[in-house]
Amino acid sequence: MNIVWLQISSLIYMTILLILYYSSKRIVTTETKIFKGIMLANEIGLLIDLSCFYTVSHAKTMPILAAISTRLLLVYYLVYVSLFTIYLFFVVRTNSMQKEKRHKMMKMFLAFVGVAIFIACILPMKYHNSDGAIYSYGISVDFMYYVYSLIIVMWVICIILNFKRIIKKKLLPIIILVVLGTIVGIIQKSYPELLLMTAADTIVTFIMYFTIENPDVKLIQELNIARDRADKANDAKTEFLSSMSHEIRTPLNAIDGFSQLILEEDNINTIKDEAKDIMAASKNLLEIVNGILDISKIEANKLEIVNVEYEPAKIFDEVGKLAKSRIGSKPVMFKEHIAPDLPDYLDGDYTRVKQITLNLLTNAVKYTKDGYVDYSVRCVKQDDVCRLIIMVKDTGIGIKTENIDKLFNKFERFDKENNITIEGTGLGLAITKKLVDLMGGKIIADSRYGVGSIFAVVIDQKIVNKVKQHEVVEKENRTTFDFARVLVVDDNKINLKVASKLLDLYHIKADLVESGFECIEKIKSGTIYNLILMDDMMPQMSGTETFKKLKEIDNFNVPVIALTANAISGMKEKYLNEGFNDYISKPIDKKELERVLNTYLN
């Protein structure tokens, strides 16, 4: 009886510890759930240990109870070390392990423990009760020690393989616990009458509670992590706003500056050159706005892929021309190879394919001061699927090894001190990665700092079996539209002026109205129009609502084109589904306008 006080005091202490633990506010994680199991197991183990002391001391009068309680104690030992093993595994190993592999290893370990428990329960056991020493021994107990030793070896291997991670995570107490468990196991095996193991488990649990699993400490850690994340998010937001201010103001400064110069300039050639610079700055500004819109849709998880039929060779050729034009006067050679065996037609989101390719090429051109940019598109065809392989190589500044993993993070720009003159928001690659993922593809990046980079994108697209029609290019004569009368509906006077000036190039008479109500009145008054260009985002009555009311007018059959700044992906399809005959996004592209005029006025 002189030994039992250790179990009794441990039981009282563990009960108090459980009450404190459950009465405290806790962070719920996998590790805390396992630790809760460890505490409960230890409480139950102490109760079983005390019952063993009593039943074994009366084994002659209650042999069945003695057999049950002693085997339950063996089960407890194996359950406790198993829970500790799982805890150790989750804390130091599984963060770097794939979920499927982790589950497979857990299942194998639990199956091993289950078999060990079954064997320990069926093997024979004997009892010793003399000279005040009471304990069980035999093959069953020896087998339990062998399994216990094997699991400790697993602990040691796990710690050796993950020593740096343990130190980094400040989980050094785990090493102390492993050493303590090993020492107590050896002592218990050598001197079974001491009955130290359950009490030692309590000490182990006590150390864990007051070092790495204290609820208050965990809460403080979580608060510190949340604060650090908030600080980083705030810094990122500040840096993003600063970057956006610079990126947006740069093209705006060019637009404003050249516009003022045009007002003061008399030389027509100079005016044309400055107008080209304004157009280039406008396109740059439009790309920035589109990037912000895309990243906003990514954040809201509303970025969609809209599949339509398209000609891949034409798309990739257009992208190459755009990228090449951005090289400017830099001594950079632009190499291009578009596979001649590309299918004539594919089914997919060509705007996103174009965006992905252009983002990669824009980055390559932007960060390459000399050397070359190599742009290639290859394909692998199988049945009705075409696997596009888009590769962009460059001899640019490259990326440091430690930054490769951050390439696709939002707002990340590397080596900014050396690249301060290079424009960029840090959104391009983040958007590209998201688009590739949405399309079920893969993107691979490889880079050497100071040498260059390689980006490869693999996307599967459906092949459309359709005979390609040879295009007949006819020289268009703008004067052929001088018979036409077009109604332009837009609530913005500047937009009306721009549309009027563009239509004037084609000798078209344009009537301008500032609301859907005025548009309806014009049609009801009997004025005959060949075409209506309708803005959608107008106050009081939107373009879509106006269009619905127009269709209610008897004998109304004028083609209506959606002309809107609502230009995010999928909008063209949306307006066509609403019944509009066609779609032009703002700012108005002259080629698109010409296409619409040729389609509906010829």
Q: 380-409: per-residue pLDDT in tens?
A: 999 899 999 999 999 998 888 777 777 776
Matching residue, tokens 């400055």: 274
Q: Which of 212-216, 295-299, 414-418 has the lowest mean pLDDT?
A: 414-418
Contact between 213 and 170 (Cβ < 8 Å): no
Q: From the CB of residue 238, how many other CB atoms can be counted at a distance below 10 Å? A: 10
Residue pair 588/560 in contact by the 8 Å Cβ criterion: no
**Span 479-499, average pLDDT:** 85
Q: How many Cβ atoms sit within 10 Å of the Cβ of residue 323?
A: 21
pLDDT at 301 over 90: no
Res 478 pLDDT > 60: no
The model's pTM is 0.46
What does the mean pLDDT of the chain come to?
81
Which of residues 31 and 218 earns the better pLDDT score? 31
Alpha-helical (H) ranges within 132-171 are 139-161, 163-168
Least confident of 116-120, 343-347, 479-483, 522-526: 479-483
Q: How confident is the model at residue 419 (pLDDT cuts 50, 70, 90)?
A: very low
Please count the other Cβ atoms lying within 10 Å of the Cβ belonging to residue 210: 12
Counting residues of the chain whose pLDDT is more than 70, the rounded percentage is 81
> Which parts of 265-394 are beta strand (E)?
308-310, 332-338, 346-348, 371-382, 385-394
| Residue 471, pLDDT score | 52
When pLDDT is averaged across residues 242-269 and rounded to a whole number, the result is 74
Q: What are 422-431's pLDDT values in tens digits? A: 444 456 688 7
Question: Which DSSP symbol is given to 464?
Answer: P
Quote the pLDDT of residue 469: 60
Output the CA torsion sign for 416, 422, 426, 432.
negative
Distance CA 385, CA 406 (A): 32
Confidence check: pLDDT of 297 > 80: no
On the question of pLDDT at 281 being above 90, the answer is no
